[in-house]
Amino acid sequence: MATIEEGIVFEYCEKLYREIEAHDGGYYPSKHESYSYTEVAAHFKISENEVSRIYNKYNKQATDIEVEKINKLPPPLRKKAMEKRVRGILLNNRDLPFYKQEGSPSVELPEALEVLNSEYHKSVETIANCGWTIPLDIDVKRFNELLSILNDDVAIDKYFTEYYSKRLVRLICRKISKAIEIEAQKVKFNECINAYEKGMYSVCLTTLITILEGFIFLFCDQPNDTRVMRICKFHADEEMKRKNNIRGLCWLSMYEYTKVLYQKSDFTQPEPIKLNRHWLQHGRTEKTVEKTDCIRVLNALSTLVIIKQADNALTS
């Protein structure tokens, strides 16, 4: 299986392909695949077989999305669209003789990253509005299962609470603790997790939100700016602008999640239905904090940790 986290590897590989194709005037699989896999494997310090596995998995996912859309067309249009797609694939492959005989395809094949971004963009927003960021360690198949229940908030909550087993929660907590750079914050986080394991969810959640804010500020482009939503929105826009679609979706997920958590509140009005940072941190909430509330924030922290690790891998 390929995970959402591994999408960063796929994205890097796709960009390298585009650069090589531009340089060589087209796509030559026999030449380009070997070179690209070697370069990507060296960059991420993984094997070429791992690169191949990840790339093929994501490429198949994008292909399946395209084919599914074609299959929804009326039969005559479906046949025509499928023939055009197959023809485009054959003409795009410069190792085959068809290009020499017929030239370039009349319509460019859609890039896999654009297909995935288009498919997942709205879904990411919906999931975040339910209080969940993308769990980047989830495999693509299970993520697609999640997409099938987007119209049911209760089902989404149930999905995540079942997904985050006791073992997985402990695993992501270790990852988060290791990624926290400030020792005082690391101590606070570890004490917070002790409270979580003892069922002290109110104490845990209040502290977790301060840890989340501190982690978001690690990505701040303006040191004196404390606007959490602005930081997330800035990175979502920047990554999309640079065509870093996977990271862009991750930051979009964080932005939509913080929009709900940090929504401005009027304390003279009824408390929002969804968890609100201001009502909690200012001691105004009348809600009883539950285990799931804590898992939501741990999930968001996990997303940030993996974004940070990916940034480090891409700049190393």
Query: Given this model, what pLDDT does residue 173 score?
Result: 94
2 in a structural domain: no
304 in a structural domain: yes
Query: Same structural domain for residues 164 and 301?
Result: yes
49 in a structural domain: yes
Query: Same structural domain for residues 94 and 208?
Result: no
Q: Which residue has the tokens 């996990």?
A: 302
Q: Which two tokens stand for residue 89?
A: 């694939």
1 in a structural domain: no
Query: Same structural domain for residues 146 and 258?
Result: yes
Instruction: Classify residue 2 as left (phi > 0), alpha (psi -120 to 50) or beta.
Output: beta
Asked whether the CA dihedral 159, 61, 40, 11 is positive or negative, the reply is negative
Residue ending a domain, choose from 50, 79, 110? 110
Query: Same structural domain for residues 302 and 153?
Result: yes
Query: Same structural domain for residues 253 and 174?
Result: yes
Q: Which residue has the tokens 């959490």?
A: 228
Q: What is the pTM of this model?
A: 0.80
Could you read off the pLDDT tens digit of each residue along the chain, which spans 316 residues?
A: 667 778 888 888 888 988 988 888 887 888 888 889 999 999 988 999 999 998 888 888 888 888 888 888 888 888 888 877 777 677 677 777 766 666 665 556 567 777 777 777 888 888 988 899 987 777 777 777 888 898 888 999 999 989 899 999 999 999 999 999 889 999 999 999 999 999 999 999 999 999 999 999 888 877 777 789 999 999 999 988 888 888 888 899 999 999 999 988 888 898 888 888 998 888 888 889 999 999 999 999 999 988 887 777 666 6
142 in a structural domain: yes
Query: Same structural domain for residues 99 and 169?
Result: no
Residue ending a domain, choose from 110, 138, 166? 110
8 Å CB contact between 15 and 150 = no
Query: Same structural domain for residues 105 and 141?
Result: no
Query: Same structural domain for residues 66 and 158?
Result: no
Query: Given this model, what pLDDT does residue 167 score?
Result: 93
Query: Same structural domain for residues 292 and 203?
Result: yes
**CA gap 311, 316 in Å, rounded:** 9
Query: Same structural domain for residues 146 and 224?
Result: yes
Domain that holds residue 123: 114-315
By the 10 Å C-beta count (0-12 exposed, 13-18 middle, 19+ buried), 277 is classed as: buried
**CA gap 215, 251 in Å, rounded:** 13
Query: Same structural domain for residues 13 and 161?
Result: no
Q: Which two tokens stand for residue 243?
A: 């065509």
Instruction: Classify residue 25 as left (phi > 0), alpha (psi -120 to 50) or beta.
Output: left
How many domains does one find in the chain? 2
Query: Same structural domain for residues 190 and 289?
Result: yes
Q: Which two tokens stand for residue 33?
A: 């695949």
Q: What is the tens place of the pLDDT at every residue in 173-193?
A: 999 999 998 899 999 999 999
Residue ending a domain, choose from 110, 142, 170? 110
147 in a structural domain: yes
